[in-house]
Copies of this chain bind each other. A is one copy, B any other.
Amino acid sequence: MAEELGPIRAGRRRRPGRPTIAKITTEGIALAALELIDERGWAALTMSSLASRLGARAPSLYHHISGQHDLIDLVRDLVVAEIDVSMFKSLPLADALRAFGLSYHEVFARHPNTIPVLSVSPIRDGRTIGMYETVMVAMARHGWSGERSLEFLLALEYVALGTAFEWSAKDLMISTEAAEKFDAPLLASYVTSRTDQQVLAITTFTHLLDMLIAVFEVGDVASITRAGVSALTK
């Protein structure tokens, strides 16, 4: 005899209704979002693609996050969690800053696709604020002024994010093809010769980091004169 199902079983997919155990958690959303960005970039992070990676539908996400806006904070929190700040408890300031800078760079070189959005979105998560505070406190303990501390930290970030993105992201900023197309032979030769991108990124960043530390160790950067540095011998 005909079962009495009617339109209720018209489709083959799960019908609405609260599951006995939740399918989705905020942590799960964060992890899936970072995975998606690492693999395919922010443009691929749609509510639909994110939900399907979690075995659910886009509207379900709104029970756990308030909108796309929240995704940025969740992803930043995950990435910043990978940055080591423990060295400020044990090492002298200059050594700690170097180790911190290397860790910061390393983490973003591992997640270069996060940079385009994270580098231009206001910071709203506690973990990142906490990281800044840790660095600032260590600097203050060594007598650095607020201005000097902020200038150093921001310069470190710009250079770290810039090199990590420039040499790790899928699309390089300057392509050999573009340089050749517009008849810039010198630039083309420089760009082409950067063969091992990953190694060069770390080398370049390390040079710039050491330079920053050396200069800021002396005092406020305003006190460094061009004549002074020029007088240096190798």
Contacts and interface: CB of A to CB of B under 8 A. Distances in A.
A225 B232 CA distance: 10
B229 A232 contact: yes
Interface residues of A, number: 76
A129 B187 contact: yes
Contacts of A132: 174, 179, 184, 187
Contact of A217 (B126, B162, B230, B233): B230
Nearest to A158: B162
Interface in A131-150: 132-133, 136-137, 140, 146-147, 149-150
Contacts of A194: 150
Nearest to A159: B158
Given A204-B151, A217-B230, A224-B232, A186 B123 contact: no
Contacts of A199: none
Given A140-B186, A158-B162, A214-B226, 8 more contacts: A120-B165, A129-B181, A129-B184, A133-B179, A133-B187, A147-B190, A150-B190, A223-B234
Interface of A: 94, 115-116, 119-124, 126, 129-130, 132-133, 136-137, 140, 146-147, 149-151, 154-155, 157-159, 161-163, 165-166, 169, 171-175, 178-179, 181-182, 184-187, 189-191, 193-194, 203-204, 207-208, 210-211, 213-215, 217-226, 228-230, 232-234
